[in-house]
Each structure stands twice: as structure tokens, then as C-alpha cells.
Chains A and B, each alone.
Chain A
């Protein structure tokens, strides 16, 4: 029975989450019978997770949308009252509308995408359309992690790099519950522990990975920068930094102008010789050479710079090495000081610093791998210090996250662990120049009717002139990313799109297309009000956001608000490319990308969203999708993936593997008509293993950088020095202080920019905490990712929802008892912005000043085709109701985000808790009117007796 003759096994890539494990889908008589991990896949090596194993229940879920739907005439948004329409109707409706917008004002079309993995295509579409209003989920997810580290070391955690646990001895995990690299991290942590590595977790809560940590260091939320700065303090005070590493590979020895009177104050001092132009960090800074006791050009042969001290240049300018400034900065950040802020005993902080420093110093790894650095010095071996870190949203999702993360990157650098064995390792296409080269248009002139956007839709500002603002310094984008409010909002600010569009600030839009994001629920802050905004009308009875299109595979809370619903396929039904142009699955040892290949046919009238974009692109005659003759260029998405090149003849396309006519080339090469087949034959993965000598020290590895340049992964092969001191930030500060010649922020933002664009990391209370009366709202409220659920989209999954059918608020018994709350009591949780009723549960595994819950288990009644009586709706709750998307600002409201990057500050909210009254109903609050199933949705069964291909035996 298990191996019936009609059983087939097909390889593809999982998408029950963004980890992208290789899976083998066992199909029996056309029905999915079993999904297991592909043992030959580099990501998961045969393992799988709870979600991945439950893919069958997603595939056959009654929450699936199967037909294009149009909101019924007269029906309210949010009620979910739809009528099915044909794809033809859907396309002409949308196509005509978009064509008009493109010809008149492309800004009026906004495309925002959530937890998808196809920014290569969606970004291309937006750029080609010509709208600046595009972003994916990064802004509300973890842009602090990306920006904080990329602006410091040219790479980051998240999908861009990670800890080398294979060789590490001490692993410190900060603010991570599950993360994207879920299975690989689990595989690695387990091996690491079994090999005797020491694992420390710094987290207010002890769940999941932290559970198996050798030491749990509970910390008060939002205070990590204090901890990290104190660790840096102690490392420097004890001389435990890797001097040789810092000297050569960071800007620590480079001299900063400290003459306050000077217009160049805070900038690096430069060699006379004019630097060549380009998107890289020219090697024209100065060192103070110990041997000759004078200033020399950085990395001069035989020179050895002072890292500490104060020096006066010949022209009288006073200068200090960047490292000296860092040392001065952390002077006041003593362990005792940090202890008061973080709640971690000062001895613990010192001990942690000593463990890190001494392990890094005394357990050096040496690999017999010869390599050559960017300055031509040949090294006989690759060395490394076996201390590694990983951090995620526990650091990122705070409005002081950018600086916390910079502090972390600096700590990692002081320990000498950047792209070295046992420390942090990059993944291609990282490292990249600091900052990477992509730039948005610099002003409204970049947006022209009927034309593609003149610049990238998202980019990396290197200086104030790179901002995307008009002459008054006001934002061009609807989400205000790259404006003076959030200058380095490199992933956009999706969390403000609805509020801004509703308010018409900076301008009203017409059509909002949301793809794969549940913005009426999980990915929105202030959910109750945002749902009202989606449904709000102006004086003329017109919706404030006139046309809302939602492309989703399931009946999410968001779909109910759509005017037009486009039913997507599931991951088992479509082609996908996890492209080098987006966030590939690269490994430490080299670039890798992967694909999905359908294993079952689409359900109902579902159509891959990629096909929708290709169709729309063709109808709109966007240049990238049209032949010079004005004809449709690509048959479908697979055809597009094979034949699209970033520029005619560039040889760079969506997939890096098996390029060239016969598949003989990789990374670059002409389109290969059989590329899909070749991926199919190779576990759906292309993995390019670099020579060993290119696998480490890549920021300064000449061989690697030139290889990367040859393969057009980068334009320049210049070394990427670590920015202990960030001149990029200083440029924004200088502009705010009225120095230099660049653009200046509007007056009301000058102080904000000057404060937060500090070239060195510093500690400050998260913005929301600054604006909260902490006596009234004493507790920090945060969420965790449950390992067995992906955001809001797994409650439809009959197996997974049995594991988490509702959520409770975990509270320390000490805290709870003080508030007169018993285990399992119904309570109110209240922030400045709203309140929810839910159940409390005692937990000894949470820092007493913190309360937490699993994220996105709660559901709106009737959504996901769950019964309105389901536990998710009656007992589950969403913390988002307590979190505001905006804070009061000097000039009106400002986003509740990191002032540098615009990262949504999910974990800054402060609350109080109290017992619900005796007579109150035992259901969570707020509740929403139940939505009925949409036309075309499968009926939800009352008994599920799943037996593949037997319809229930």
C-alpha cells in the first residue's frame, strides 16, 4: 500500500516558510501522500520541520481561494461579500486601471508584498511600471538587521550570512526565536552542542532554541544596546580585541577629524591624492603610523597604525583613530551601568565579555588555506576566532535596533570574527560595498508618466543627496521611506502604507496591490483602526483608498477587504525562482539558488501570481515584458525565467545555474532553454562551491573579490573595510547640523537626524518607551515565532492548528501575583493605544518585566474558512491591537519605527495587565464580525480522515 505503482516522488522546494528547504513530494494517484526532506539538499540535508511536514493540509485546505473574485456592488469592504469573475474580466479591469495610472501618475499605483520570495520579479514590475511605491516586507520585518550590519560589515545575518557553528566554540544567540534559516540553524546548533560548544542565549524569554542553551541570559526588551556597549567596554578595557584584525580589516585605525570647529568635523582625514569615483570605499584615509610617528595613507606597506591616541596633523587638524572614538564612546557604558538598564548582573556581563574575549583570543583556528588580501599580501593560512553570534528580531524590531545591531557588528569585529572560520560567514552575493550600490531616484523627477522609474525602487543611501525627497525635503514615496524621517529605510516601510494612503499623506493613491501579506491582520500595527481605514470613505462616498487588489492563496483577513481578489497557486503548484537577484539560498562556501517546480496541477482557477505579473506587464507593454515591436515577450513565467536578462546580452538572469546554450556556464551566460530541466535533475538547486581560498575573509580577499567582479556579482573589487566608525551616518548628522554642501533636512527633523545619525553606536530608550508613562505601563509586551506555525497562515492547517489553536499571554508568576492574577485567569492587557482581553499563563521562563505570546495565532472570526467558533477567534488574540503604527511627533505623527531605518518597532510596546471582571465573557476582545466563506472555497469538513488517493479509505 505504501508503494503503490502510481506513486511518484518529485523534488521541489518547500514554502511553508521562507527557509526554502528541499523537499521530496510523494504523489499517489495524483494526490500528495507524503512530503519529506530532500537528503541531497544543501539547506536541510533531509530534515524537515513541523510546517513542512504538514504541507498536505495546506494544499487541501478549505481556506483556499479558487476563483478570481470581485466585491459585490454595494457590499462593504471587510464583509467578504464577493462574486466570482473570470480571469479575463479580472485582467481587463486591472489592466485598464493600471494603464491609465501609468499614463497619468504612476505614483498612484502601489505594490507591496509580504512574506514572498520573488522581489526580483515584483521589484522589476514596479520599476518598469514607474511607481516609486513598492516594497516587500523587510521594513516591518528586520531591516534593522540588514541595514545595521550591512552599513557596518557589508553583510548581515538573516539571509545574507550567519554563524559558522561548525568551527565555533562559543555561540551567542541574541533575540532569536526561530528565524528564516530554521532547519539549517537547528542542524547546526545540534551538531555544535554535541561537539561540546557552549551556547548562550540572550533573550527575555526561554523557548525553542534558547531552551537548549547552556546559559540563558534574560534581558529586558529594548536594552540590548546597553548590554552590547558594555561588552565592548569590557573587551576594550581588558585588551581582548583582535588588534591585528582591526588594524587591517576595519577603519579602526583611520583618523577622524575631531576639530569641532572644522566643517569636516567627524569625517575621515584623507590623503591628498584624489580618490577615484565609484560605489566603494576609496582607500584614501590616513593612519597614524607607530613606526614613523606620522600620518600615512591607510594600509601603507610596513605601516602599523595606532588604534588609540590623539594626533595633530601637520596642518594642525586634531585627529583621533576611529577606535579611539569608539573607546571614548563606551567609556561610560560600564557593566554596572548596563546592569541597571538590562537587569543582567554586572558580573554576568563581565564574565560574558571575558568568555568571548578569551575564547576568541586563545582558541584561534588556523586553516591551511593560502589566500591573498586586497593589498596583495599573501597569507599562508586562514585564521579565525571561534566565537560566533546570531541575532534577529529581538534586536531588530526595536526603534533603537539599528544602533544595537551596529554595536553587535562592532563587537563581532572587535573579536575578529568577520568572515572567518568559527565566526560570522557571508553568503553570496554578500559581502557588498558599504553601502551597496543600488540607489533610488533622488527626487520626484525620477517618476515620469509612461516611463520606468529612473533608479531602483529600493536602494542604499550613502549620503543625504541619495535620499528620495523633493526640494522641500518631503518624501516622494507613499511610505516615506528614504525621506528625512527614515533616511535609511532600505526595505521600504510597508507598515505605514495603509495609514499614509488613507490620510493622503504625502498624497492619495488610487490602486493598492497587496501580494502575500495579511495587512488587515498580522503585518499591520494598530489593526483595529487600520481595518477601519481600509473601509473608510471620503465626503463623496468614495473609498479613501479607491481600489484594493489582494493576491493571496487563502482567505486571509486581508482578502475580505479587497475589491478584487486574485487567487494564487500554492507552492506545490507553481514555478518559482529563489533568485540571486533577490535573496538566494547561498551557503557559506558559495552562491546557491533554487527553484520550485510544480508537483500537482493548480487547483480550480488558481493562477500563479508571477503569471499575473507577466500578463499585466505584457498588457501594459512595460519594456521588460515587451519586444521592440511592442509584442508580448514571454509566454509565461518559466519562459521569462529562462530568457529574461537584466540587460540585453548581460548574461545575468533570474537563475545562475546551467546558463549558456547547453547549460555549460554558471552565474553568467546566455539563456539556456533547458534550464528548468537541469534544475529539476539537480534537486532544484544550483550550488557553486568556491575554491577554499575564496571562502573566507571575503571583504578583503582579492581572489574572491575579483572572482565576484568577473561574475558580475559586484562591479568593484575594492576591499570592504569594517565601519567601526560610520562616516555614512556622520554625513547625515553633518547635514542636520548645517555642515557641508549636501541637502539639509527640514528644520523640524534636524535635531532628530543629528541625534540618531551618530557615527558610533549609542544607547537610547526605544522611542515608544520615551513616549510612555512607565509607571502606568510598566511591562514590555513581545511575541515569539512558534516553530510549528508560519505567521497567520497556518491556522487553516488541520494538523498544525491542533498544536496551537489559541494563544495565551505568558506572565512571570511574580508579576502576575502582584496584579492579583491567577494562572489561566482572563485578563486585560492594555497599552496606550488599545487593549485586548485574553488568558494569562504563568511562566518561569520569562523575564518578570516582560509578557509575551505566540505571534498571529489569534484570527478574525470566519477568516481562513475556520468556523467563527474556532478557538483562534474566541480564545486567540493578536498583540498587534496594542501596537501603534505611529507615535506623536513634533510635527504631527511619525511612524513608530527606528529613526534611522524605518524598521517597525513591534517590540517596543509597554503595557499593563489586570484581571478581567468576574462577569465578563470568556472570549478574547476585540472581536470582529464573522466573515462567510467566499464563492469557490472548498467546504470545510467536520471530520477529516485524510488518506491520500483513497478519499478517506
Chain B
């Protein structure tokens, strides 16, 4: 069985927000749109977005890590948002595990959002229906797009390639490999929701310079350190004592 998902590499995400606005841009004029913006040019502008990038600080100065943390629907394998939906508008697709909302069925009761611990569902304030990341279903199967383009908008956009997309059930996929090899993990595992999206942790690269490799015998100082020779005529002890 296929389970499509995103794998987000926190090791390289610089928090540029490209995935945020490219998602908005694709989806507002796509099958999931329009995604409203309220007070777009006034105080407290707010709007529907399927993907947000947040920033956390870990640790205390000077040992601080700044972590940029993108988050969209995790397409849980046990999605608690689905069974609670009274209309069946929220559903998980058999064929690829994508969790979707049928906007024509949704009554906007928000119950599914209560049942999602991750805060990734947003009611569109204009259409009054629940919306969320669709994994860009209207891109990834679109055969009018060239193969390389059949990826979610956010994945295509991400300049650091921090967003990988693929089937986490296929052990040979890029995403599964990345999860396996880089210690990929899920968010809030305590709830048993089994998010399909995974995150890859930070890695540190260090260089160790050992004392004995610091100065080598071919050290250029040996060549260059020809100390200036004083003039023979400069005063010396020879001039003042005879022993």
C-alpha cells in the first residue's frame, strides 16, 4: 500500500518560507482554492495557509540552536481527524494515504480540527469549509505536467531541497532511505497517530585538529624565517671586552 508523505530535513531548512507562499500560491488558484486573506492591507492580516514555517530557539546563549520548523498536515496513518468527521468530508485515500477534505461535503463544524493534535487544519474564513494540505493531489498525478514537475509545489520551491516527497511505505524510496539513514522521526508519537510525514534531525560536522598535525616539518616558516643578518659593522661585544 502506498503512503505518500513529505520528509522535512531540519538539518538544511533555513526558514526561508518559500514552501509557505508557494503552497499558498499554487493552491489558491487550484482545486483547493481560493484561500482567503482577510484584512489583506489592514491591521492584523490573516489568511488560509496550508503550510507554516515556525522558529524555535533551543538552549541558552551561547549554546543556542535556532530551529526552523515547517509544518503542514502530516497525513497520519491513523488520522484521528477522519473518524470524527460527521459528514465523511474528511477522508483518507486508500490508494495513496493522502488525507483530504471534500469541500462539497464539509459543513465547517471544525470537529476534525479539534481532533488533530498538530494544528494543521484551517477553516477558510470565506468558504467556511475545512482546508488543509492536499499533498498537491492536483499536481502529483497531473499527466499534463512533465514528470519532474509532478511534485508538491512546496517541494518544487524549496531551495535547500529540505522537503522530500515520496512513498514512505516503499523501503527503497528516497524518503524511506532518508528516514532510515538520517534518523527520521515523527511528531508527537505519544498519540499513536502515526504521521506519514517525517522530520530529519540536525547533524553536526566537526573538524578535529590534533596537536601533532598542527606544525609540520615542511612548515613554510622554516624556509622564510631567515633572520635578518645584522651589519658586520654594528657594535658587538668584540668591541668592548677582550677576555
Name A's B-contacting residues (CB within 8 A): 1-3, 28, 33-37, 39, 44, 46-54, 56, 62, 169-170, 182-183, 186-187, 189-191, 193-194, 196-199, 206-212, 214, 216, 218, 238-241, 243, 290, 306-312, 323, 351, 354-355, 358-359, 361-362, 787-788, 796, 798-803, 805, 812, 814, 843-848, 865-867, 869-871, 874, 940-950, 952-953
Residues of A within 8 A of B225 (CB): 308-309
Question: Pick the contact of B220 from A216, A307, A798, A949 — CB < 8 Å?
Answer: A307
User: Which residue in chain A gives the minimum CB-CB distance to B157?
Assistant: A48
Given A194-B12, A238-B215, A290-B226: A50 and B20 within 8 A (CB)? yes
Cα-based distance from A796 to B126 in the complex (angstroms): 21
Report whether B204 and A214 are in contact in the complex, using a CB–CB cutoff of 8 Å.
Answer: yes
B1-30 contacts to A (CB < 8 Å): 11-18, 20-22, 24-26, 28-30
Residues of A within 8 A of B191 (CB): none
Given A243-B220, A309-B226, A803-B17: A196 and B25 within 8 A (CB)? no
Q: Confirm or deny: B45 has a beta carbon within 8 angstroms of a beta carbon on chain A.
A: yes
Cα-based distance from A515 to B229 in the complex (angstroms): 62
Cα-based distance from A228 to B29 in the complex (angstroms): 51
Q: Confirm or deny: B243 has a beta carbon within 8 angstroms of a beta carbon on chain A.
A: no
Chain A proximity of B218: nearest CB distance (Å): 9
Could you show 9 A-B contacts with beta carbons less than 8 Å apart?
A56-B25, A187-B159, A208-B14, A211-B14, A243-B220, A309-B226, A942-B38, A942-B39, A944-B38
Cα-based distance from A362 to B214 in the complex (angstroms): 10
Q: Confirm or deny: B227 has a beta carbon within 8 angstroms of a beta carbon on chain A.
A: yes
Residues of B within 8 A of A191 (CB): 161
Residues of B within 8 A of A238 (CB): 214-215, 219
Cα-based distance from A2 to B43 in the complex (angstroms): 33
Given A170-B207, A194-B12, A198-B206: A869 and B37 within 8 A (CB)? no
Chain A proximity of B28: nearest CB distance (Å): 5
Residues of B within 8 A of A362 (CB): 213
Residues of B within 8 A of A241 (CB): 220
Report whether B59 and A214 are in contact in the complex, using a CB–CB cutoff of 8 Å.
Answer: no
User: Which residue in chain B gives the minimum CB-CB distance to A54?
Assistant: B21
Cα-based distance from A186 to B70 in the complex (angstroms): 16
Residues of B within 8 A of A307 (CB): 220, 224
Cα-based distance from A574 to B219 in the complex (angstroms): 58
Residues of A within 8 A of B228 (CB): 309-311
Report whether A239 and B220 are in contact in the complex, using a CB–CB cutoff of 8 Å.
Answer: yes
Residues 140-157 of B, flagged 1 when their CB comes within 8 A of A and 0 if not, give 001010001000010011
Main secondary structure of the interface of B (DSSP, over half): loop
Report whether A308 and B14 are in contact in the complex, using a CB–CB cutoff of 8 Å.
Answer: no
Report whether B34 and A945 are in contact in the complex, using a CB–CB cutoff of 8 Å.
Answer: yes
Given A48-B159, A197-B205: A798 and B40 within 8 A (CB)? yes
User: Which residue in chain A gives the minimum CB-CB distance to B34?
Assistant: A947
Residues of A within 8 A of B61 (CB): 218, 812, 814, 844-848
Report whether A799 and B57 are in contact in the complex, using a CB–CB cutoff of 8 Å.
Answer: no
Residues of A within 8 A of B62 (CB): 216, 218, 847
Report whether A190 and B126 are in contact in the complex, using a CB–CB cutoff of 8 Å.
Answer: no
Chain A proximity of B190: nearest CB distance (Å): 27
Report whether B29 and A28 are in contact in the complex, using a CB–CB cutoff of 8 Å.
Answer: yes
Q: Confirm or deny: B238 has a beta carbon within 8 angstroms of a beta carbon on chain A.
A: no
Residues of B within 8 A of A52 (CB): 18
Report whether A44 and B159 are in contact in the complex, using a CB–CB cutoff of 8 Å.
Answer: yes
Residues of B within 8 A of A170 (CB): 207
Question: Pick the contact of B159 from A183, A309, A805 — CB < 8 Å?
Answer: A183
Q: Confirm or deny: B60 has a beta carbon within 8 angstroms of a beta carbon on chain A.
A: yes
Given A787-B15, A787-B16: A358 and B213 within 8 A (CB)? yes
Cα-based distance from A866 to B15 in the complex (angstroms): 26
Q: Taking each of B28, B29, B66, B161, which has the highest tally of chain A beta carbons within 10 Å of its own beta carbon?
A: B29
Report whether A212 and B38 are in contact in the complex, using a CB–CB cutoff of 8 Å.
Answer: no
Report whether A354 and B42 are in contact in the complex, using a CB–CB cutoff of 8 Å.
Answer: no
Cα-based distance from A763 to B29 in the complex (angstroms): 55
Q: Taking each of B24, B153, B204, which has the highest tally of chain A beta carbons within 10 Å of its own beta carbon?
A: B24
Report whether B33 and A953 are in contact in the complex, using a CB–CB cutoff of 8 Å.
Answer: yes
Residues of B within 8 A of A199 (CB): 205
Report whether B156 and A46 are in contact in the complex, using a CB–CB cutoff of 8 Å.
Answer: yes
Report whether A948 and B157 are in contact in the complex, using a CB–CB cutoff of 8 Å.
Answer: no
Residues of A within 8 A of B213 (CB): 358, 362
Given A49-B16, A802-B46: A947 and B28 within 8 A (CB)? yes
Report whether B17 and A50 are in contact in the complex, using a CB–CB cutoff of 8 Å.
Answer: yes
Number of interface residues of B (CB under 8 A): 79
User: Which residue in chain A gives the minimum CB-CB distance to B203?
Assistant: A193
Report whether B36 and A869 are in contact in the complex, using a CB–CB cutoff of 8 Å.
Answer: no
B219-236 contacts to A (CB < 8 Å): 219-228, 231
Cα-based distance from A801 to B213 in the complex (angstroms): 52
Q: Confirm or deny: B87 has a beta carbon within 8 angstroms of a beta carbon on chain A.
A: no
Q: Confirm or deny: B47 has a beta carbon within 8 angstroms of a beta carbon on chain A.
A: yes
User: Which residue in chain A gives the minimum CB-CB distance to B124?
Assistant: A945
Q: Taking each of A2, A169, A805, which has the highest tally of chain B beta carbons within 10 Å of its own beta carbon?
A: A2
Residues of B within 8 A of A805 (CB): 44-45
Residues of B within 8 A of A49 (CB): 16-18, 157, 159
Q: Confirm or deny: B173 has a beta carbon within 8 angstroms of a beta carbon on chain A.
A: no
Cα-based distance from A307 to B225 in the complex (angstroms): 8
Report whether B31 and A54 are in contact in the complex, using a CB–CB cutoff of 8 Å.
Answer: no
Report whether A53 and B25 are in contact in the complex, using a CB–CB cutoff of 8 Å.
Answer: yes
Chain A proximity of B128: nearest CB distance (Å): 12
Chain A proximity of B125: nearest CB distance (Å): 8
Chain A proximity of B101: nearest CB distance (Å): 17
User: Which residue in chain B gives the minimum CB-CB distance to A206?
Assistant: B66
Chain A proximity of B195: nearest CB distance (Å): 23
Cα-based distance from A948 to B25 in the complex (angstroms): 10
Report whether A309 and B160 are in contact in the complex, using a CB–CB cutoff of 8 Å.
Answer: no
Given A239-B222, A943-B126: A865 and B153 within 8 A (CB)? no
Report whether A212 and B157 are in contact in the complex, using a CB–CB cutoff of 8 Å.
Answer: no
Residues of A within 8 A of B59 (CB): 844
User: Which residue in chain B gives the minimum CB-CB distance to A803?
Assistant: B17
Q: Confirm or deny: B169 has a beta carbon within 8 angstroms of a beta carbon on chain A.
A: no
Report whether A34 and B25 are in contact in the complex, using a CB–CB cutoff of 8 Å.
Answer: yes
Q: Confirm or deny: B93 has a beta carbon within 8 angstroms of a beta carbon on chain A.
A: no
Report whether B64 and A844 are in contact in the complex, using a CB–CB cutoff of 8 Å.
Answer: yes
Residues of A within 8 A of B64 (CB): 206, 216, 844-845
Residues of B within 8 A of A240 (CB): 214
Cα-based distance from A312 to B231 in the complex (angstroms): 10
Question: Pick the contact of B31 from A1, A803, A944 — CB < 8 Å?
Answer: A1
Report whether A946 and B29 are in contact in the complex, using a CB–CB cutoff of 8 Å.
Answer: yes
Question: Pick the contact of B209 from A1, A218, A239, A358 — CB < 8 Å?
Answer: A358
Residues of A within 8 A of B13 (CB): 212
Residues of A within 8 A of B41 (CB): 62, 796, 798, 865-867, 870, 940-941
Report whether B223 and A243 are in contact in the complex, using a CB–CB cutoff of 8 Å.
Answer: yes
Chain A proximity of B23: nearest CB distance (Å): 8
Q: Confirm or deny: B123 has a beta carbon within 8 angstroms of a beta carbon on chain A.
A: no
Report whether B142 and A2 are in contact in the complex, using a CB–CB cutoff of 8 Å.
Answer: yes
Given A193-B12, A212-B11, A309-B226: A53 and B18 within 8 A (CB)? yes
